Each structure stands twice: as C-alpha cells, then as structure tokens.
Amino acid sequence: MLQSKLFSKTTKNLPEGEETKNAQLLIKGGFINKSSAGVYSLLPLGLRVLDKINHIIREEMNAIGGEELLMPTLVQRRYWEQSKRWDTDVVYKTGASKKQGELEYGLGWTHEEVIAAIAVNFLQSYKDLPKAVYQIQTKFRAEARAQGGLLRGREFLMKDLYSFHTDTEDLNRYYNQVIGAYKKIFKRLGLRALATEAGGGAFTKEYTHEFQVLNPAGEDSIYYCQKCDFSQNQEIYDVNRHKGCDGKVVSGRAIEVGNVFKLGTRFSEAFNLSYADSSGKKHLIVMGSYGIGPTRVMGTIVEEYNDSAGIIWPEAVAPCRIHLMSLGDSPKTKKESDRLYKLLSGRFGSDEVLYDERAAAPGEKLKDADLLGMPWRLVISEKTVAVKKIEIKNRASSQSKLLSEKQVIAVLDGK
Amino acid sequence: MLQSKLFSKTTKNLPEGEETKNAQLLIKGGFINKSSAGVYSLLPLGLRVLDKINHIIREEMNAIGGEELLMPTLVQRRYWEQSKRWDTDVVYKTGASKKQGELEYGLGWTHEEVIAAIAVNFLQSYKDLPKAVYQIQTKFRAEARAQGGLLRGREFLMKDLYSFHTDTEDLNRYYNQVIGAYKKIFKRLGLRALATEAGGGAFTKEYTHEFQVLNPAGEDSIYYCQKCDFSQNQEIYDVNRHKGCDGKVVSGRAIEVGNVFKLGTRFSEAFNLSYADSSGKKHLIVMGSYGIGPTRVMGTIVEEYNDSAGIIWPEAVAPCRIHLMSLGDSPKTKKESDRLYKLLSGRFGSDEVLYDERAAAPGEKLKDADLLGMPWRLVISEKTVAVKKIEIKNRASSQSKLLSEKQVIAVLDGK
C-alpha cells in the first residue's frame, strides 16, 4: 500500500468529548471517524484491524463446531414480546407506526429470540443436537452514556454464538469448550482476559463468566487473585469463594471483552423449541449464548498497547506488519526504497506493507509511523543506502538496528 | 462438511406470501429464513453464497483502486437535514425522542452524506484526488411492498462505492472504469447485465446507468436492442437514441442489480467538501456513487438458474462445488465414500465438499441434492463400488456418467 494513495491521513483534530486513549489515538491515526456519540466509521486501516480480529474469532468458533450465519437487524416487535423483552431500555425502536399495517421493530441488540424461532424449523429430534451457530454482526444499544470510544458504542460489532443441547450436562460440556476457545482467542489477540464469575440476572442462579481485561479505562470493577485463577465481578464478590490458595485478592478496573451465558430453557420455552428423545417424548431444548465484541476488543487493544507517541499494534491484528519509510529526496534512496517495497510486497503481500513514499519531512514521517504503530518500521535513507543496510525497529522497542537485507527478511520471517 | 451436522435442513414448509422462485427455493433449501416481510436471515449455506458474491465484488473494487471501509447504520438526523433528505419516505427513523437530549437517527439506506462529511477531514488538496472508497453493509428501506424475496428487502446488503474528483472530466473517466468493473463482476457471477440508460432524477440531467438482468421476476421494464448495446429504462425511453444499428428494439422485464451515478457537486456543496488547486484556489469536489446489491444479486442468480427440481448454482457462487452422496447402507459403500470425502476435502478444501452421509433413503437424498443445487454431484453406491467407478453429474445436465476416480478429479480440476 502506498501511503500517498491512502484515503485517510493522520490528523491533529479531535472531536469534542473524546477522553479515552483508544478514541483519541484511533481518530488521530485515521483508523476511525466519529459520526455521532458512540457511533463510528471504520476507515480503511481500522477496518483491516477489525477484519483480522474477526478472522481469529471465526477460526476458533469454527474449531468448536460453530456454523456462521447472519440474522437481521430489524427484529419485529412480536419476537421481543414473546420473550417479554420489548420494554428493555436499550432497544432502539423503529417502523413508521403512523402508517396502516406497518410493522414495528426493535433493532437487534442480541438475537436469542430470532435464533430460537429459526431453530424450531431445524431442531426437532435428539439426533439434531447438539448444534452451535454464530454471527458477526452490527448491534445497537441506546446507551445513555457513550463516551468510551470503541469501548461503549451505541452501534458496535458483536460475535454472538448460540448453542442447543438435549440437557444441562451437555450444555455444561460445551460451555467449558467455549471458555477454552475464548481463552485461545484473547491470547491470540494479545489480551490477558480473566474468566470472571458474574451474576446470571434473571436467567440463571448459577454464575456466568465474563472475560475481563484489567485496564483503568474499564467500567467494571473486579476482584481477582494475584496467584490463582480466582476472579469475580464486584457485584457478586464473595470472599469465601476464594479457597485453597494463599494468594492475595485485589480489586481493579477492567474491560469486559466477552461473556458466556447458560440460558437454560428461558427462550426455548418462549418459542416452543423442543426435541423428541429416542422414545418420542418431547423436551425443551437447553440453550447457551456467548458474546465477544470485536470493536470493543479493538478499543481494548489500543488501551493496552500504546505509549505517548501512539499505538503499538500486536502483530496479529496490525493493519500492516511492515511500515517502509523512504526518507529524504535523493533519487538513489527512492530507487532503493521502491526496489525493497516490491520485494517485501512479493514476499509478505502488498497489503502487509505500508510504504511511506510521500514527499514529507523525515520528522513528520517518523512521527506518523509511531502514531500508526505498525510492528516493524524499516527506514531507507541516504545514510542507510551508503552502507548498504536497512534500519529496522520494532514499534515496542526503543532501539533500532542497521541490518542487511537478508537479516531484515529473516527477522520479518520470524527467524 | 458433513450434511448430518448442518444446522439447516431442506423443508417443505413455506411461509405465507412468498410468491417468487428465489424466496421459495432458498427457503426450501434452508439457505435463508424469513423473519418478517422483506427481512431474512442468511443461514450457513446461504451466507456462503453471499460471501462468494462479496469476494468477487471486493476483488473488482480493489482492482479499480477502491479502499474498503465501514460506515454506521445510525446516521444522525443532522446529516440528512444538511442534504435535505430527512423527509425521504423510505427512511426508517429511530432514537427515543421522548428522553431529553437523545439523538434522532435515520437508518442508513445510502451514505453520500456520511462519506462527504468524513472526506472533509482527508481531501483538501488536488494532490489528494482522485480517491475511491466502498463498503459492503446492511442497508434499510421502509418499502411499502416487500414481496420479491431477496429482490426487494426492507433490510438488504449493499456494496456502495463513492468516488471523489477534481472535475467532471475525471469523474467521467472513473465512471467508465466502474462500468468496466461492473461488467466483469456480473460476468463472473454468471449474470448477463445490460448497462441501461436511466434518468438522473434530481441529481443530474445526464443519463445514469442501471445494470439490468432480463427476467420476468423483475420490477423494471426496459427497452433494449437485440443486436447492439442499446438499452434504456422504460421511464426515459426515447426511440431516437437508438442510432446506427438495424437491430430490433424490444421490451422486457428486468431486475436492477446495480447502478452508477454521477452525483456532481450536490453533496460536496451540502457538506462543504472542497479542494485547493495548485494555485490555492478552492473548488467543490466532484463525486460519483455506485451501488450493487449482493443479496439482490443472490436472489437474481436463483431466478436465473433453476429448474422444477431446485436451484442450479453457477460454480463461482455455489455454497459448495461438490455434493458427495453415499447411497444405501452397505459398509463397503460407506467406507469408499468416507475415503473419497477425505481425498476430495484434501484437494478442494473440506468447505467445498458437502458430504451426504445421512441415513436417509436414496430418493430423498437425490431430491435434496437437486434442490440444493451444488454444481457437481458424485454418487457412491453398491453399484458404483462394484465397478470401481464414481457416478458424476453436473447439476445443469440431465446426463450422469460413470468415471474412474482419476477422471472425476480431472473433471473437478476443470481439465
């Protein structure tokens, strides 16, 4: 990618009311654009990050037998009424009720109702179970406060997985499998997410689990052990649950990046979703639901990986792995940079190499590179050309090195 | 993919009011599910078709310099007011205006306003032009009639590309480039789409172009020449425009699968989107917008490719290229089918091979295969195992052949 051709640019202008690091850095870097409070556009470099996050989530969902589908945003009022959730505060409602015969909708903020109604068509026998389906879809919530950048949007992306089982035992088995998949996902995304016990609200008396990333930008407070896996949301914190460990339990602010939920039969009852066992006897299907917010994950990654100069993208989700800089206006430098761009594009894919060939001052270009935060910065200048080397620097490190082309390739190959 | 594990199944139950072939076949095949009038879920096999359509569109958009981004659905009222489109009939409006200070939104049905407002941040100089960005995004229109299955939804997918230019000449150049890209896209999708002149409405006195696929399910009427490229929407049909050709002009029903539009400066004026030329003088940026509806394309493909038994997917968009059927319950047949499934999965990807290993009657399985419409049906039965052959049939052909494994692979390799 040629930087001079990019639609977006870095900017110093910040819209009002953006207090969080993730919003500030993502807007300054041209990754996102604020449309209104809690509503953002993903600009090309930002969409690349989101796509990489989604790709990792998809791989792990498919690995535990999840089939991807896509449900609607316009969810007709009758669905919500059937589950008694039409009057939930966060639902955006639409449909021009003025006109005769027009339908009313709640914009999908979660899809237990829709998926239960769909499943009735396909899940009828114990032989059809278990099943798991998921979608990655834009969701809507009428949040009163929407000030956390990508951490709390009125419109945001959600991966929601739903599972269907013959009984609680099979749900428990799959629930633990999903927890395993979530741990893999967050690890691949560079996030240390604590599986934190939380309350089940109206759904269940059992604990549910939230995946919480300790970070001062978080809205949740959790209590967690510094030694073992114990972690509980402050709302249900019970010191007696921490047993058989002498580690210290401390509290901290955290960002909830995912959750897993045993729904039981609440929705299968509302939508008459049942199966026949081998003797033909009918039972309600037992359900689970499991969420991850990819846009919130993106914001969390920025909150976790930044310094005073900008973002420090982990390699797995960086818009581009390599930022190639041509500094100065010597024709020799330009020629050598062009050659290297071609070589790197061939080897790593042109999408993974952002080439700064702009006619801008070296200081401005290096400042932009720090703000944009690609993992590997390669500099070609008169100085490097003279010694037939390339300057390479990892964004997370303060040291640059002068290496030969062969050595640089080896570093980028991960050797 | 193991057919016994699929979330969806074929079904004979059709919801009321589904008169079109595309809705009937897609629902019967378990590709989509109707949520409410004009609102559908894409089930796993259907989403695979949509993803393949989107992939082709993306490739051709990237090839003409389009950068992908993602704009919001919640478009605040002020955007629409600035362009005087708040009172458009088709806009779904939301936002709880009861509460103090809450925002009102129109659900995005097109994004000229949002992209013009974003572009102000990045396009300021003639050096920043031309640029082109696109998104593939769910759109909403409050259609009074929503009876065409995927042909006319209240919620549907849209690829919308927007381009920015210094002057009309450069817009015209790019406009023709987009027409070229659209021709490639529809050809790859197996659709013969006529570039049809249409009126520009309030935007322009020039003609715009619609891409129309002749089909009785279409809502448009067009006049087209049976010999040359002449094609006009009935609404503007002027017999005198057909010159220098002795071909006969006839009329027909058609489905609009895409359109291209010269916006001129209507939106750059509304959003104060201007650039400085090399002497520093300011000019309004000239814009174009270009749409394709991937869900409508999917419906159109089904309207074009079907017979009395079901869908006949073109290879480029089929959910799976290969449908492997194991018929009968002989252990030898099962063993041979399993072996072939493994072999084909390794060669063509397991996602491209749907393996019907269900314990169902041969007649039912073959009927399902015709309904689902994968391009290549391979049958393993006691009969084929006995002669060490595989029965292969193309869905579009009435003839099956008994071939050796080597010959079958050669056919699937396209040799």
pLDDT reading at A50 higher than 90: yes
Residue A136 and residue A58 in contact, taking contact as beta carbons nearer than 8 Å: yes
Select the residue from A31, A73, A74, A145 to test the B interface by mutation, using most B Cβ atoms within 10 A.
A74
Reply yes or no on whether the pLDDT at A36 is more than 60.
yes
pLDDT at B205: 74
Q: Which of B6, B90, B122 to mutate to test the interface with A (most CBs of A within 10 A)?
A: B122
Q: Which DSSP symbol is given to B70?
A: B
Q: Is the distance from CB of A348 to CB of A412 less than 8 angstroms?
A: yes
Domains located in chain B, CATH noted: 3-307 (3.30.930.10), 322-412 (3.40.50.800)
Residue B97 has pLDDT above 80, yes or no: no
Q: pLDDT digit string (tens) for A245-271?
A: 999 999 999 999 999 999 999 999 999
If you measure CA to CA, which chain B residue comes closest to A3?
Answer: B128
Tell me the mean pLDDT in the region A124-153: 94
pLDDT level of residue B13 (50, 70, 90 thresholds): confident
Would strands B353-356 and A208-214 be described as parallel, antiparallel, or unpaired?
unpaired
What is the C-alpha separation between B267 and A139, in angstroms, rounded? Answer: 28
Tell me how far apart the alpha carbons of residues A274 and A281 are, in angstroms, rounded to a whole number: 10
Burial B134-158 (b: 16+ CB within 10 A, else e): bbbbbbbbbbeebebbbbbbbbbbb
- Percent helix, strand, coil in chain A (nearest 5)? 35, 30, 35
- A97: pLDDT strictly greater than 80: no
Q: Average model confidence (pLDDT) for chain A?
A: 95
Q: What percent of chain A has pLDDT over 90?
A: 91
The pLDDT confidence band at residue B98, using thresholds 50, 70 and 90, is low
Which pLDDT band holds residue A147 (cuts at 50, 70, 90)? Answer: confident
DSSP one-letter code for B414:
T
Distance of alpha carbon A368 from alpha carbon A351, whole angstroms: 18
Name the percent of chain A lying above pLDDT 70.
98
Is the pLDDT score of A100 beyond 60? no
Q: Give residue B207's pLDDT.
A: 86
The verdict on a CB contact (< 8 Å) between B118 and A68 is: no
Do residues A126 and A275 make contact, with C-beta atoms less than 8 angstroms apart?
yes
CB contact under 8 A, B76 and A5: no
pLDDT score recorded for residue A13: 85
B193 near B258, Cβ under 8 Å?
Answer: yes
| For range A320-336, the mean pLDDT | 97
Span B300-305, mean pLDDT? 98
Question: Is B7 in contact with A50 (Cβ distance < 8 A)?
Answer: no
- Over residues A381-395, the mean pLDDT reads 97
Per the prediction, chain B carries an average pLDDT of: 95
| pLDDT of res. B99 | 59
pLDDT tens readout for residues B154-193: 999 999 999 999 999 999 999 999 999 999 999 999 999 9
Nearest CA in chain A to B295: A70
pLDDT digits (tens, 9 = 90+) for B61-81: 999 999 999 999 999 999 999
| pLDDT per position as a tens digit, A149-208 | 999 999 999 999 999 999 999 999 999 999 999 999 999 999 999 999 998 776 667 889
The mean pLDDT of A36-54, rounded to a whole number, is 97
Contacts of B35 in chain A (CB under 8 A): 71-72, 74-76, 79, 114, 117
Q: What is the pTM of this model?
A: 0.97
* Chain B CB contacts of A105 below 8 Å: 36, 92
Q: Looking at the predicted structure, is the pLDDT value of residue A98 above 60?
A: no
Q: Rounded to a whole number, what is the distance in Å from the CA of B296 to chain A's nearest CA?
A: 15
